[in-house]
Structure formats: C-alpha cells, structure tokens
C-alpha cells in the first residue's frame, strides 16, 4: 500500500471517534482557545426518503444530520452524521449518544501532498476511489454504519464496500447530497441536508448516554 493510500485509509477511520468525542485536535479543541460563549440554536438537518437495510436492520427512519470538519487544511475530512434521533447537533455539542441511536457517517477526504489547501468539492464519488483534480487535490469518500444499544453501547461498526456519494452543496455552513451505498449485509439510499454543527465551547471529555 502506498503512503497516500495508507493516509486515506487511516483518515477515513477518524469520524466515528470524532463523533463520539474521542478525537484529539478537533474543532472542539479549537473552541478551548475561544472560551465559553453563548451558542446559537443548531440548525436542524434532514434526511429525505431514506431506505434500505444493513444486517436486516431497516435504515428508513433517519431524521436529522450534521456536519463537521476534522484535520488541517491540506489533509482533512468532511464528515456528515445521519441519525435516527432528533437534535443531533445539540447532542454532539454535549458529547451525548441517545439510546438505540444509529449513525450513518458519510465522509469526504481531501489531501494535497504539497501541503497547500485542499478544498472539499461537489460531484459524485465512488466509495474508496481516490480522484485527483487538475489543481492536485486528491479526494476520496467513505461511509460507515454505527448502531448503539438501548444503553448506548456500540454495536458492530460496518464500512461501506461500494456505491457512491454525490455532493450537491458544500459550503462553510451546509453540506447536501445523496448516498447509494453497498455494505456486505445490505444496501442503503437517501438524500441528506447536514448543516455544520457550530461549536462555541469545549465539548465534555466523557460521553454520556441519553435514554429516550
């Protein structure tokens, strides 16, 4: 495996840890230098027409989504977390997981070997296929599924083995697109709108479980 592929493979594994509050040097740690300030109410996300199943678990009940960026501007990832529980950004800010919550995490990875800024982009990307544009930015996408139990214990994480993610909007405040993903134990499709989840204060270091 080349150094570039090793980098992409390792980077794609970060978002679930970041979403669960276990990733160092994320935007949460940047908020440490800002201090605690009042945070505006999160903008709700949405998932339209979710369908399909993984391991016989239907994934047709996603109702909310948010996005975050992790890394530095020349090797970073844009991840959007789709969930079957509302108030996703608010829970992320407090490092909370809801009982029986299910996450589908869609990730775009952007990398430049010359350490110049690597912008995220729109368009359709096959899972696991790196594409370098004319400016030298290598982009790849990945997706993972993470279920949780009634007491927020993590079930078996699964990675998409094929399919595509199409990004129609990528801005500093909003990520929109669609997914058509293949897993070893099923397929899922849908369309999402995932606003950036603004962090105005450090997140708690320990994750807590919210039972609903």
Please tell me the pTM assigned to this model: 0.85
- pLDDT level of residue 212 (50, 70, 90 thresholds): confident
pLDDT over threshold 60, residue 9: no
Give 33 or 8, the one with higher predicted confidence: 8
pLDDT over threshold 60, residue 198: yes
**Tokens 């993470």, residue?**
146
With a pLDDT cut of 90, the percent of the chain lying above it is 78
pLDDT over threshold 50, residue 110: yes
The pLDDT assigned to 101 comes to 97
The pLDDT assigned to 55 comes to 92
Give the CA distances from residue 160 to residues 105, 117, 145, 154, 180, in Å, rounded to whole numbers and listed in that order: 10, 27, 8, 18, 10
pLDDT over threshold 70, residue 27: no
The pLDDT assigned to 28 comes to 40
Give 122 or 37, the one with higher predicted confidence: 122
Taking only the tens place, the pLDDT of each residue in 15-24 is 566 565 554 4
């Amino acid at each position: 495996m080349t150094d570039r592929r090793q980098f992409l493979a390792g980077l794609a594994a970060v978002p679930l840890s970041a979403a669960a509050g276990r990733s160092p040097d994320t935007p949460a740690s940047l908020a440490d230098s800002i201090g605690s300030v009042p945070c505006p109410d999160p903008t709700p996300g949405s998932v339209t027409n979710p369908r399909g199943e993984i391991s016989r678990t239907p994934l047709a009940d996603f109702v909310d989504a948010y996005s975050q960026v992790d890394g530095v501007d020349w090797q970073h990832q844009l991840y959007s977390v789709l969930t079957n529980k509302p108030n996703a950004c608010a829970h992320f800010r407090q490092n909370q997981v809801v009982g029986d919550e299910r996450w589908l995490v869609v990730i775009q990875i952007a990398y430049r070997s010359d350490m110049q800024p690597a912008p995220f982009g729109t368009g359709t990307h096959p899972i696991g296929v790196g594409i370098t544009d004319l400016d030298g930015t290598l982009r790849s996408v990945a997706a993972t599924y993470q279920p949780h139990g009634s007491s927020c214990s993590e079930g078996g994480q699964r990675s998409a083995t094929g399919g595509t993610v199409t990004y129609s909007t990528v801005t500093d405040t909003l990520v929109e697109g669609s997914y058509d993903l293949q897993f070893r134990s099923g397929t899922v499709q849908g369309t999402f709108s995932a606003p950036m989840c603004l962090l105005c204060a450090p997140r708690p270091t320990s994750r807590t479980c919210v039972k609903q």
